[in-house]
Amino acid sequence: MNSLKRIIIFGATSAIAEQTARQLVARGASLFCVGRDSSKLDAVVHDLQVRASSEQRVDGKAADLLDVSHHESLLDAAEDFLGGVDAVLIAHGTLPDQKACEASLEQTRKEIDTNATSVISLLTLLANRFERQRSGVIAVISSVAGDRGRQSNYVYGAAKGMVSIFLQGLRNRLARSNVSVVTIKPGFVDTPMTAGMDKSGPLWARPEQVAEGIVKAMTKGRGDVYLPWFWYWIMLIIRHIPELIFKRMSL
């Protein structure tokens, strides 16, 4: 079991991250929250401070994580505030307009920078810090979309796939240093980011459900975690559909 007492959350204003932060505070954690929108971040931090005990510390800082030159100073500020760091959750990202990306390389690069490059920048810095510390948990919200390219969202899927593969290598590297690297792969989650999607099907989950799974995965130091759990089986079937079709055609 991992100690989750001093935690940094990047993208703390997202629905999943906010629910995860509430559950972590309820378990006694102190948090340093980072978000792009200062007014939303202030509201999240204030809510968490109300929920925290007098022994817990909660604060935050607004930052544009696309500016990777500030990542080192953000980590320094968080570590100074918390008095050390036990775990980090990286939860920021956007769901791009696929058609807009198809029409514009500039838009595609922006989305990849947001969903992949900025994440990898933070991971590079965090890996070195936790490796020296020889303990800790690094958790990142990727997506089932990164498991296989789909016509409807392959730019988003490519970015998430890049992060997932990077985390696989990082997990192997840091295992000898007693550092857990957790890849969170949510399926369909009812959040503001998915507001324009049809949510009438049975596969949609609530943010608080996914948050509960994230806290459990971080505590146990699991590797790849699909949330809700049934997405593991869905993606396993999807990955093998072409193989199954080919075998049947060959009969």
Reported as a single tens digit per residue, the pLDDT across 107-131 is: 999 999 999 999 999 999 999 999 9
Q: Which of 202, 215, 150 is nearest to 5 (CA)?
A: 215
Reported as a single tens digit per residue, the pLDDT across 129-150 is: 999 999 999 999 998 887 787 8
The answer on pLDDT for 84 being more than 70 is: yes
Residues 6+ apart with CB under 8 A from 158: 112, 116, 146, 149
Reported as a single tens digit per residue, the pLDDT across 168-221 is: 999 999 999 999 999 999 865 555 565 455 555 555 567 788 898 899 999 998
CA 72 → CA 5, 93, 125, distances in Å?
Answer: 21, 19, 7
The answer on pLDDT for 73 being more than 50 is: yes
Q: What is the percent of the chain with per-residue pLDDT over 90, rounded to a whole number?
A: 68
Give the pLDDT score at 221: 86
- The predicted model scores a pTM of 0.86
Give the pLDDT score at 200: 55
